[in-house]
């Protein structure tokens, strides 16, 4: 067994996640900071905050939840990667972090039905895998997605990943937890679909793989013609943030989630 001293030393040793080499084991976990511009662009305040974090010595910083489409926003002053106009601001952010010798990942997400908490216009509907009738845990104006809308959201994740790579991110973390859209697809409690779309509750692995599968080719194709191609340190990695147990009956449970983690690893 490692001594306490050895364990502490390990924290300061470099580590690789895929091809991304991180100078130590300190990771700033994904944190929504409520400091983006109202439009979703990176703000001066965020540039300073991330500079301070990287200067402090953390090896990898994960941004807060960043929506891939405006229909996925659930909080004010939240970052967006929903169009190319957001790339330059994020490029400034990644440059600042890299100049301090740290790595940076972006957490891409869609809120799904959780957007209802943000909607001021009560005529607007949020979107979800299914509408859950008489749900004691959730109420608000939302509807179930059409199949073509689901495919569009998968594309949105892919496009946002491509933009993230162009903005200099070292990794993309696909947010599949915390009751947001992908997590809603994973849980039998919130996913009652019986259609033939790619993201269905019957097969959790399919549900989870559809989005990273779309993210991956986007990252690969945006590497073409990139002068950093072949430089292992700057390959963009994909990571997946998974849910644990749902507290309510009929929800997702850890064993299937462990199964999904294993399948994704392969
Ligand atoms: C203010 C705040 C904002 C957070 N924002 C996010 C987020 O955007 N995405 C995410 O996956 N987790 C988010 N989290 C969860 C953290 O990443 C982390 O998993 C959680 O705080 C547990 O870690 P801890 O015990 O070290 O605090 C947030 C937590 C806090 C306190």
Residue 195 is predicted with a pLDDT of 76
Separation CA 180–CA 113 (nearest Å): 7
* Protein residue with its CA nearest to atom 26 in ligand 1: 29
Q: What is the pLDDT of residue 207?
A: 55
Task: Tell which atom from ligand 1 comes closest to the C-alpha of 177.
Answer: 11
Residue 180 lies in a domain: yes
Residue 55 burial (C-beta neighbours within 10 Å; 0-12, 13-18, 19+):
middle
Q: How far is the centre of ligand 1, averaged over its atoms, from the C-alpha of 172 (Å)?
A: 17
Minimal CA–CA distance to 189: which of 122, 266, 124, 112? 112
Q: Strand, helix or coil at 26? A: coil
Q: Is residue 6 part of a domain?
A: no
Full residue range of the structural domain in which residue 45 is found = 16-265
Structural domain includes residue 3: no
Report the separation in Å between the CA atom of 30 and the middle of ligand 1, taken as the mean of its atom positions: 6
User: Which of 25, 27, 32 to probe ligand 1 with, by most ligand atoms within 8 A of CB?
Assistant: 32
Q: What is the pLDDT of residue 186?
A: 81
Residue at 10 is within a domain: no
CATH code, 245: 3.20.20.70
Taken in order 141, 143, 145, 149, is the CA torsion positive or negative? negative
Is 72 contained in some domain? yes
Is residue 205 assigned to a domain? yes
pLDDT for 253 equals 57
Give pLDDT, residue 263: 55
Q: Does the CB atom of residue 32 touch ligand 1 within 6 A?
A: yes
Q: How far is the CA of 237 from the centre of ligand 1 (A)?
A: 21
Q: Give per-10-residue mean pLDDT for the chain (266 aa).
A: 83 92 96 98 98 97 97 97 98 98 96 94 91 92 92 92 95 90 87 67 54 65 43 48 62 56 56
> Which of 29, 72, 111 most suits a substitution to test ligand 1, by most atoms within 8 Å of the C-beta?
29
Q: Is the CB of 31 under 6 A from ligand 1?
A: yes
Ligand 1 closest atom vs CA 65:
8
pLDDT of the residue at 198: 42
Instruction: Give the pLDDT confidence score for residue 2 in this predicted structure.
Output: 77
Q: How high is the pLDDT of residue 227?
A: 38
Does residue 138 lie within any of the structural domains? yes
> Ligand 1 centroid to 79 CA: how many Å?
16
Note the pLDDT of residue 229: 33
Would you state the pLDDT for residue 88?
98
Q: How far apart are CA 63 and CA 84, in angstroms?
A: 18
> Is 109 within a domain?
yes
SS3 per residue for 44-91: HHHHHHHHHHHHCCCCEEEEEEEECCHHHCCCCCCCECCCHHHHHHHH
> In the chain, how many domains are there?
1
């Amino acid at each position: 067994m490692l001594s306490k001293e050895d364990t502490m030393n390990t924290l300061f040793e470099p580590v690789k996640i895929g091809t991304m080499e991180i100078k130590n084991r300190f990771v700033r976990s994904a944190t929504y900071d409520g400091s983006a511009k109202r439009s979703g662009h990176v703000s001066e305040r965020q540039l300073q905050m991330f500079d301070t974090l990287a200067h402090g010595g953390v090896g990898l910083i994960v941004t807060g939840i960043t929506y891939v489409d405006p229909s996925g926003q659930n909080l004010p002053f939240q970052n967006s990667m929903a169009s190319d106009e957001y790339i330059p601001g994020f490029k400034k952010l990644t440059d600042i972090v890299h100049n301090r010798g740290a790595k940076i990942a972006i957490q891409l997400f869609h809120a799904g039905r959780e957007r209802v908490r943000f909607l001021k216009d009560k005529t607007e509907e949020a979107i979800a895998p299914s509408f859950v009738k008489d749900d004691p845990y959730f109420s608000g104006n939302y509807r179930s997605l059409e199949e073509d809308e689901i495919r569009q959201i998968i594309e949105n994740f892919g496009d946002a990943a491509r933009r993230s790579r162009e903005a200099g991110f070292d990794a993309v973390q696909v947010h599949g937890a915390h009751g947001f859209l992908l997590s809603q697809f994973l849980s039998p409690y919130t996913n009652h679909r019986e259609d033939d779309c790619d993201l269905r509750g019957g097969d959790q692995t399919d549900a989870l793989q559809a989005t990273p599968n779309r993210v991956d080719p986007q990252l690969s194709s945006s590497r073409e013609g990139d002068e950093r191609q072949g430089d292992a340190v700057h390959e963009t990695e994909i990571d997946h943030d998974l849910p644990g147990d749902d507290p309510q009956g009929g929800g997702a449970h850890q064993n299937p989630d462990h199964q999904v983690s294993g399948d994704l690893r392969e």
